[in-house]
Structure 1
């Protein structure tokens, strides 16, 4: 069915283009229809937040600042939500505060211990906010809850929904007053973010690349349509096996991430275990 607005009046497209002009790499993700993900899956693990495979089959790796590509994406999917690739792709590190999961309490505890966060760009989300920092060149692993309940970190290989996106609840992602890009220059990440107890590496360290690849495979797996998930799990294990061979990742690290993703997608432990083992075995023998 044709949409009722042109590219010039498509606010999601215009938002995506505005971010790209700031050198933020853009990715099209699904949108919500009546509170459900437009991907059509009844058990979508990331409704209205995961990449559209037909437009970006490699997930966040397809993020771009090309206005030609971005316009083409939104011509095919006018209601797509804009997302921003984090880390070196857009020179951003983002702390995602989930207000529904005690994220503000966790952040208050960290600020009580280390002092308040610097004034920087912030985006209001459905129940919390995204806190933006400039990327200092050191890779952080994408994490969920390791800083505290309701606090996630997005860096290399990750992404966040951008201003202009619409949450499945109907709430729009918007700049926080007083923290717009014109009001708050991007601040350096706090030192404690890099001394927190989760893996981090420099860009010159092969482990940093391996961890970014692991995070990317996890994101792509979670965005896979029903009926293709077991095959995609096998492919992820196959691709990641080379990092076990080089010592950049352990087999346990890979199995943990892939198992957790498989569970979120509804695959049984038995099925997931057999698929992961098969993929790792095939990948290590190539």
Structure 2
């Protein structure tokens, strides 16, 4: 069996277990080139393949079709969606992520579940599969938890077991194999989540209230006029502008949140998603 066939076989097995998959190259990158020019923000809305993790699917026929479009694929990715997150432990370039994780556990009082899916990487590291509560969004991060520890969260992916990389094969833990991913310890989950935005004390308002109201109304209208596929981006843009006015003392934080969340839910975004986007925009302004 070729590496391509082995990757397809393992990808189909993962898809049957409910994991969304897509083919990858020997460099562990998505195997189907993008149909768009650089700088696009399409996440598959065009209906064509070539959108990386957004191609990932659990449909058997679609998995076969994707691999058929990527004859040089020797691996597959598993999209981190829903409740699945991955803890990527690296051991390379003098960094030992296992030591970092052990120290983090001692400091914050948690242990990684002993029986959860663990995939060993060719370099000596591991991908630990964990789950988070329904509705919780964990962002991707590189080294934020500490040296050699990355988090594969929403919009990220894990290399599937049975994939081949330049350094070798990704394999299940030999003693446990595949097992149901276990919940991330609460203390670890808290570390994975971004800190809440810091809203500085408001300065004295120097803009007339009616002018401030018109500014916020204009930003709300930007959100309300968003087309399908641009809603979250335009909400982020409007929130960034609004938080800048909060920092200048021209708008109240509570008004900004209430008005933008209201507009976002009117156009079909979930309240939790809208809150996360608005908070993320606030962190950018206050960074």
The aligned counterpart of 2:129 is 132
**C-alpha distance in 1 between matches for 2:30 and 2:164:** 13
Alignment of 1:213-252 (within 5 A): 240=233, 242-247=235-240, 248=278, 249-250=280-281
Alignment of 1:1-286 (within 5 A): 10-31=5-26, 47-54=27-34, 56-80=49-73, 81-88=75-82, 91-100=83-92, 101-113=95-107, 114-119=109-114, 120-127=116-123, 128-137=125-134, 138-169=136-167, 171-181=168-178, 184-196=179-191, 198-199=193-194, 240=233, 242-247=235-240, 248=278, 249-250=280-281, 253=284
The aligned counterpart of 2:244 is none
C-alpha displacement of 1:198 = 4.4
Structure 1 unmatched runs, 5+: 32-46, 202-236, 257-286
Query: TM-score, normalised on structure 1?
Result: 0.60
The aligned counterpart of 1:227 is none
Root-mean-square deviation (CA, aligned residues, Å) is 3.0
**C-alpha distance in 1 between matches for 2:283 and 2:30:** 26
Judge conservation of contact 2:22–2:30 (CA < 8 Å) in 1. Answer: no
C-alpha displacement of 1:241 = 5.3
C-alpha displacement of 1:27 = 1.7
C-alpha displacement of 1:197 = 6.7
C-alpha displacement of 1:244 = 2.1
- Quickly say closer, same or farther: Cα 1:68–1:197, change in 2 above 3 A: closer
**C-alpha distance in 1 between matches for 2:239 and 2:31:** 30
- Quickly say closer, same or farther: Cα 1:134–1:197, change in 2 above 3 A: closer
Judge conservation of contact 1:93–1:134 (CA < 8 Å) in 2. Answer: yes
Structure 2 unmatched runs, 5+: 35-47, 197-229, 241-277
C-alpha displacement of 1:168 = 1.4
**C-alpha distance in 2 between matches for 1:197 and 1:63:** 24
C-alpha displacement of 1:58 = 2.4
Query: TM-score, normalised on structure 2?
Result: 0.60
**C-alpha distance in 1 between matches for 2:11 and 2:98:** 28
- Quickly say closer, same or farther: Cα 1:95–1:200, change in 2 above 3 A: farther
**CA-to-aligned-CA distance 1:233-274 (integer Å, 9 cap, x gap):** xxxx9x8454121352438849x9xxxxxxxxxxxxxxxxxx
User: Which has the larger Rg?
Assistant: 2
**CA-to-aligned-CA distance 1:118-141 (integer Å, 9 cap, x gap):** 121100012200001124221111
Judge conservation of contact 2:110–2:185 (CA < 8 Å) in 1. Answer: no
How many residues end up aligned between the 2 structures?
A: 195
